[in-house]
Structure 1
Amino acid sequence: MSRDEPNASDEPVATEGRAGRRPTIYDIAQKVGLNPSTVSRALNKPGRTNAATEEKIRAAAGELGYRVNPMARSLPTGLTGTFAIVLPDITNPVHFELIRGAEQVARASGFTLIVSETEASAELELETIETLQPSVDGLLVVASRLADEELAALAREKPIVAANHSAPSLPSVIPHLVMGLTAAMDHLHDLGHRSVAYLGLGDIQINRARWDLTLDLATTRGISAVEITVDAPTVAAGADALRRVRASGVTAVLAYNDLVAHGLLRAARSGGVQLPESFSVIGFDDIFSAELAAPALTTLRSPLREIGTRAMQTLIDPERNRVASKVVLPLELVVRESTAAPRT
């Protein structure tokens, strides 16, 4: 192999450069005035080079039409250049922006991101992760149904980053529950509500954290709280909960997510129940349809794209993707039409 030829890990896919041949890292190095090893590190190990330098190198690579061949790169390193994002329900709109944030990071760094759904089943999630692990360099697991110890055991095989739920043994990127739920309970208290129902998913870890905090916040404000369990985080499940909400006699409802809240609003409207006159409703996530609901949904706005972005940045960084950590992002209350003072 001559000095002017790249090694296997730097081999580009067949793309013609300006001189009528395939560009190499040496062409990029000459263009930006840097050492070829620096160029290789910036292209193959994102985050290991100064950010400004890495951006300059990637811009030059784009101008020259250079693309890393992930199959060639995997030969000497054992890496595939592919990561996976594992979701409980791909049809849930809450995941759209999260996926977009993760995909943008992966694409900008020259990686491929594949998406897999687990149908909100812990058993299927475990099977899916174990199946994917030999073929990917790491996994982004969203709203996992698995216990922390199960995820920690899986992470010994390939790095795993938790998104939108907290896993103490892993790197996690989550919304600030205390910030958001405190704002929600203060809003209801200020309106005059003294009873609230939480529509949740039972013993799932992400749900328990929300209910436990809701209960504590309600108690300290003199608000009675009751948990009403729904079968799934869906519109249909929210609609099915209407009869139990009315029977509970509460004046306000905090839903596990916006889909459950949508179902409750729809069922109330169909049944001739006036909202928010009969009871107020607060959702969670602020998906795109929240402001289109009737009445427009008061909800907690989760920074979904940023969660995906920050989680993916951690996953592709070998210095961070196996270190337990927690990134907490703002969770803000958006007040619309579905909350009002209770009837006296």
Structure 2
Amino acid sequence: MTCRSPYRRDVDEHRVPTIYDVAKACGVAPSTVSRAFSRPGRVNAETAARIRKVAEEIGYRANPLARALPTGKTSLLALVVSDVTNPFYFEIIRGAELAANAADYTLLVADVYESAAVERKALERALPLVEGVVLGTSRMSDSAIRVMAQQRPTVVLNRVLTGIPSVITDNARGTRRAMEHLVDLEHRSIGYVAGPEASWADGMRWRAMRDAAEALDVRVQRFGPVAPTLVGGTGVAPVVADSAVTAVVAYNDLVAIGLMRGLAAVGVRVPRDVSVVGFDNIFGAELCSPALTTVAAPLAALGRYAVQTLLAGMASRTPPQVRPALLPAELVIRESTARRARRRRSVAAS
């Protein structure tokens, strides 16, 4: 087989060369050119070599994803997050991206707006393209996650599912440290502002609070659930203000910051009247006023370790390690907690 002179002048210099240009220059069908790049074993070796030479001379670049799809080796991973605008995910994404890049993979991030339905649709679109998936605080049911994990290697963040690798922070220890800190400050009635009902971490924190309250002989009261946002925290503030609690642990830092704003709006001072503790130690937790006391999660490490676990499972011929990887949490004490006032200032008095 002979190719006509495949010079760039045979192709309009103002457009990108296509597979059809290569086929025309070589006198073969476009499908032959496609096979030469995606399945070279199905094309005569001499023909494939000439096609690649022509493609290089005219500047044609095969779509690497199209070439990879038949083999499943796309070098793409998916990270699904429930709300990309939540600073909680900033460092998780950064850590995951660094780990993926180090292994010559590209990370696709899908934002699913705190919706299990949106999450399912996003995964339906992503699964044909990616080699593996990291689910960050998934809102899907356990059964839905298991069905998805049968299609692609999967690692779950901040959730434990039997048979699926997961990476979590030590919610129980972090919650216990927050409770011990508040009890040390003489608080005896402590509230918890709950997050989404579909959140596994929310259930773990509330159980840990009740266990700690029993061990420390203090009372706990649950508020919510609320959206895991500033607005969610602000909205629950009047209810907290009307209660007898003198300290509150919030589902996350955004809820805690929103709660502090809402309490200030109804005349309740933080921490003089009510102490507030958040979760996650997001960017901005130390910049609000007062600076937020929070249970710090190793966010970048969560993302990095999740991707490393996923890649290790993909490379192994043996079943993945399914015991949850437990990363430490620590209490960061700032300005939003203080010793309980002898008399709490009431909303009515303000």
Say whether the fold is shared (TM-score over 0.5). Answer: yes
Deviation at 1:167, TM superposition (A): 2.6
Q: Which residue is 1:140 aligned to?
A: 134
Q: Is the Cα contact below 8 Å between 2:192 and 2:220 reproduced in 1?
A: yes
User: In 2, Cα distance between the equivalents of 1:266 and 1:184?
Assistant: 21
Name the amino acid aligned to 2:269.
Q
Q: Which residue is 1:243 aligned to?
A: 238
Q: Which residue is 2:162 aligned to?
A: 168
Q: Is the Cα contact below 8 Å between 2:171 and 2:201 reproduced in 1?
A: no
Q: Is the Cα contact below 8 Å between 2:279 and 2:296 reproduced in 1?
A: yes
User: In 1, Cα distance between the equivalents of 2:67 and 2:306?
Assistant: 24
User: In 1, Cα distance between the equivalents of 2:280 and 2:319?
Assistant: 26
Structure 1 pair 321–128 and aligned structure 2 pair: CA distance change class (3 A): farther
Name the amino acid aligned to 1:287.
I
Q: Is the Cα contact below 8 Å between 1:238 and 1:264 reproduced in 2?
A: yes
Deviation at 1:212, TM superposition (A): 1.2
1:102 is aligned to 2:114: no
Q: Which residue is 1:310 aligned to?
A: 305
Q: Secondary structure at the match of 1:292?
A: coil
Deviations 1:260-286 (A, max 9, x none): 001011122233321111110000000
Q: Which residue is 1:332 aligned to?
A: 330
Structure 1 pair 76–157 and aligned structure 2 pair: CA distance change class (3 A): closer
Q: Which residue is 1:226 aligned to?
A: 221
Q: What aligned pairs does 1:73-112 form with structure 2 within 5 A after superposition?
A: 74=68, 77-112=71-106
Deviation at 1:168, TM superposition (A): 2.9
Deviations 1:199-221 (A, max 9, x none): 01253222111111111111221
User: In 2, Cα distance between the equivalents of 1:74 and 1:323?
Assistant: 28
Match of 1:130 among 121, 124, 131: 124
Deviation at 1:159, TM superposition (A): 1.1
Q: Is the Cα contact below 8 Å between 1:296 and 1:337 reproduced in 2?
A: yes
State the superposition RMSD in angstroms. Answer: 2.3
User: In 2, Cα distance between the equivalents of 1:160 and 1:329?
Assistant: 19
Match of 1:193 among 178, 184, 187: 187
Q: Is the Cα contact below 8 Å between 2:278 and 2:292 reproduced in 1?
A: yes
User: In 1, Cα distance between the equivalents of 2:66 and 2:222?
Assistant: 54
Name the amino acid aligned to 1:167.
L
Q: Secondary structure at the match of 1:80?
A: coil
Q: Is the Cα contact below 8 Å between 1:281 and 1:338 reproduced in 2?
A: yes
Name the amino acid aligned to 1:331.
A
Structure 1 pair 226–93 and aligned structure 2 pair: CA distance change class (3 A): same
User: In 1, Cα distance between the equivalents of 2:203 and 2:143?
Assistant: 17
Q: Is the Cα contact below 8 Å between 1:172 and 1:325 reproduced in 2?
A: yes
Q: Is the Cα contact below 8 Å between 2:196 and 2:228 reproduced in 1?
A: no
Q: Which residue is 1:152 aligned to?
A: 146
Q: Is the Cα contact below 8 Å between 1:303 and 1:329 reproduced in 2?
A: yes
Single out whichever of 310-319 and 164-173 deviates more from structure 2: 164-173
User: In 2, Cα distance between the equivalents of 1:144 and 1:72?
Assistant: 29
Name the amino acid aligned to 2:185.
L
User: In 2, Cα distance between the equivalents of 1:156 and 1:119?
Assistant: 24
User: In 1, Cα distance between the equivalents of 2:321 and 2:279?
Assistant: 29
Q: Which residue is 2:172 aligned to?
A: 178
Q: Is the Cα contact below 8 Å between 1:139 and 1:161 reproduced in 2?
A: yes
Q: Secondary structure at the match of 1:325?
A: coil
Q: Which residue is 2:279 aligned to?
A: 284
Deviations 1:251-307 (A, max 9, x none): 110000000001011122233321111110000000111111111110011000000
Match of 1:296 among 291, 294, 300: 291
Gaps of 5+ in 2: 1-35, 41-62, 343-350
Match of 2:248 among 236, 248, 253: 253
Deviation at 1:76, TM superposition (A): 7.0
TM-score (normalizing by structure 2): 0.76
Structure 1 pair 255–75 and aligned structure 2 pair: CA distance change class (3 A): closer
Structure 1 consecutive aligned stretches of length 4 or more whose deviation exceeds 6 Å: none
User: In 1, Cα distance between the equivalents of 2:269 and 2:319?
Assistant: 49
User: In 2, Cα distance between the equivalents of 1:170 and 1:330?
Assistant: 20
Identical-pair percentage: 41
Q: Which residue is 2:345 aligned to?
A: none
Deviation at 1:321, TM superposition (A): 7.9
Single out whichever of 269-278 and 238-247 deviates more from structure 2: 269-278
User: In 1, Cα distance between the equivalents of 2:309 and 2:139?
Assistant: 21
Deviation at 1:72, TM superposition (A): 8.2
Q: Which residue is 1:268 aligned to?
A: 263
Deviations 1:99-131 (A, max 9, x none): 000101111111111111111011211222122
Structure 1 pair 308–335 and aligned structure 2 pair: CA distance change class (3 A): same
Q: Secondary structure at the match of 1:248?
A: coil
